[in-house]
Amino acid sequence: MIHTIAAIAPLFGLIAIGFAARRAGIFTATSQREVSRFVIYLALPALLFQIVARAKPAELWQPGFILAFGGGCAVTFAMVLFIRRRRASRTGSVIDALTGAYGNAAFVGIPLCVALLGPGSHIASMIASILTICVLFTCTVLMVEVAKHPGAGLLSLVRVPLAATARNPLVLAPMIGCLVSFGGFTLAGPVAAIVDLLAAVASPCALVAIGMFIGNPRPRTSARTVAFLTATKLIVQPLVTWGLALLLAPLPSVTFKAALLLAALPTGTGPFMLAELYEEKADVAARTILISTLASILSITCLMALLETGF
């Protein structure tokens, strides 16, 4: 447990620094958005590209991990949607479902996996990022479009999420990395150096950006809903993923631990951005991001302690 605390302390320390700087007024809400844009459009795509481009093609195809982690996301999403459908609007229940299943795989997951499980886990964290950002988020956008426009044709409904996904740098970067990896190409020295420099600052900048985001003043919202979504994200999803990993997809030790750790991540910013985009109440998603991030310090420490004992 001491090893786990020592490994995660610097990561959550950076989140705390971003949080304190935002609350102290050193950075404004505009500053937070601009730091996040730097991470989303430059630094994190460079890191994802670097990981994929330098990976062996066989490393990128991990059906067992995809089944366990992706299945955990899907089951959790469906469970929250079923429970919340009578307590929220159609659009609101879909966004609540995303809030309970959307882990912060890119901003927090990549550095956390490397810190706790070593560099061999970075492929799993990259795959989890793609599943979360591409598949889960895109499917949610499609469901929101259906809820908003029940009489629209299928083509018009699909066009919006697919177009948004195709323009997402966090999707494009690993796709280009796949072309480099499968094609056996190598980057020229100066280009590789630029990618390495951007990739090196991705994790610290992402963690500070998360802290700044959760440091933004928020209105008080339903404590019961936030508690339910936080518990779902930090407890239920890891348990579902654990069951799937054992029953359906026997995994190597490091991959198994990575699947559980990535499933136990706090809620990412995607649900908040989606609520803002569709002019739904974003306070539940924002508060869940804050509470789940703080609570994950304890839950992840306990999870890693269990995993170290051979659980």
Residues of the chain with pLDDT under 70: 1-4, 7, 149-158, 160-162, 164-166, 170, 218-221, 249, 276-277, 279, 310-311
Q: How far is CA 73 from the centre of its chain?
A: 11
CA-based end-to-end distance of the chain: 14
Is residue 60 within 8 A of residue 237, CB to CB? The reply is no
Integer Cα distance of 227 and 24 in angstroms? 27
Query: Scanning the structure block, which residue is given the tokens 């029940």?
Result: 150
CATH number of this structure's domain 2-305, picked from the four choices 1.20.1530.20, 2.40.30.10, 3.90.700.10, 3.40.640.10: 1.20.1530.20
Q: Cα dihedral sign for 210, 212, 214, 216?
A: negative
pLDDT (0 to 100) of residue 32: 82
pLDDT (0 to 100) of residue 118: 83
pLDDT tens digits for 167-217? 777 677 878 888 887 787 777 788 889 988 998 888 788 788 878 887 887
The model carries a pTM of 0.78
Is residue 68 within 8 A of residue 259, CB to CB? The reply is yes
pLDDT (0 to 100) of residue 161: 62
Q: Residue 99, Cβ neighbours under 10 Å: how many?
A: 33
DSSP single-letter state for residue 247: H
pLDDT (0 to 100) of residue 273: 74
pLDDT (0 to 100) of residue 311: 57
Partners of 208 in the β-ladder: none
Any idea where the domains of the chain sit in the sequence? 2-305
- The beta-strand segments (E) located in the chain are none
- Give me the chain's average pLDDT, please: 82
